[in-house]
């Protein structure tokens, strides 16, 4: 006598339980992937902002490295001042550039740290005209670049001489000295728009020394 074949398959309840388990696993996996994706985006954003800040500081160092003093330059400032001036809002300087000398101006304007550079020139007259132009910048002139957003405040300290083997800082507005600074300290206060919040400090020696 033949025995009946056992029934093969799943009940409806077993199928539903399996679907629920798969759904929970899929949801957990999706949340995990989403978290990883968000963390990756945040990390990439921080890296880009850090590289941007490093790029800006590299340009700043390059300008300080190329500073050149032009004793015959008529800056229109008080007697004794040289071609490296900071008035509390923007810095003007003359720097060596391929093809001549140019005026560069760094300034904080409307929450942006900007840099303007004039074309290289070869005569004192052209350089004086550039210097005067740099005193009236509006931020829309050719050669103006937004180096960093979210700049709230900028301070600078000039190191004029050496005393007891250490550099002596001066007040940032005290630029009426007849010599170029030995080094400068830039203190930039950054807000949320920059991707950083806090103070960025940079100490740089001038190549002219």
Q: Digits of tens for pLDDT over the chain (209 positions)?
A: 555 555 556 687 877 778 888 888 877 777 767 677 777 776 777 788 888 889 999 999 999 999 988 877 776 654 445 678 888 788 999 999 999 999 999 999 999 999 999 999 999 899 999 998 998 888 889 989 999 999 999 998 888 765 554 555 555 444 445 567 888 999 999 998 888 888 999 999 887 55
pTM beyond 0.85: no
Where in 67-150 does DSSP place strands (E)?
A: 84-86, 90-97, 100-109, 112-117, 144-149
Instruction: Report the pLDDT value the prediction gives residue 41, as an integer from 0 to 100.
Output: 75
Would you state the pLDDT for residue 126?
Answer: 93
Q: Which pLDDT does position 95 carry in this prediction?
A: 93
b/e sequence 76-105, b meaning 16+ C-beta within 10 Å: ebeeeebbbbbeeebbbbbbebeeebbbbb
SS3 27: helix
């Amino acid at each position: 006598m033949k025995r009946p074949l056992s029934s093969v398959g799943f009940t409806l309840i077993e199928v539903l339980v399996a679907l629920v388990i798969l759904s929970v696993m899929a949801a957990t996996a999706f949340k995990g992937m989403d978290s990883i994706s968000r963390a990756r985006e945040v990390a990439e954003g921080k890296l880009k902002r850090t590289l941007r800040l490093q790029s800006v500081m590299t340009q700043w160092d390059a300008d300080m490295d190329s500073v050149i003093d032009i004793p015959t330059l008529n800056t229109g400032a008080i007697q004794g001042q040289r071609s490296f001036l900071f008035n509390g809002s923007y810095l003007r300087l003359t720097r060596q550039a391929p093809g001549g000398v140019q005026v560069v101006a760094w300034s904080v304007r409307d929450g942006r740290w900007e840099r303007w550079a004039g074309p290289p020139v070869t005569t004192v007259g052209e350089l004086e005209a550039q210097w005067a132009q740099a005193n009236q910048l509006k931020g829309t002139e050719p050669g103006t670049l937004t180096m960093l957003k979210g700049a709230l405040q900028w301070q600078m300290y000039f190191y004029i001489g050496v005393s007891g083997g250490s550099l002596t800082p001066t007040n940032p507005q005290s630029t009426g000295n007849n010599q170029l600074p030995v080094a400068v300290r830039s203190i930039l206060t950054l807000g949320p728009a920059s991707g950083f919040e806090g103070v960025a400090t940079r100490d740089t020696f001038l190549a002219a020394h």
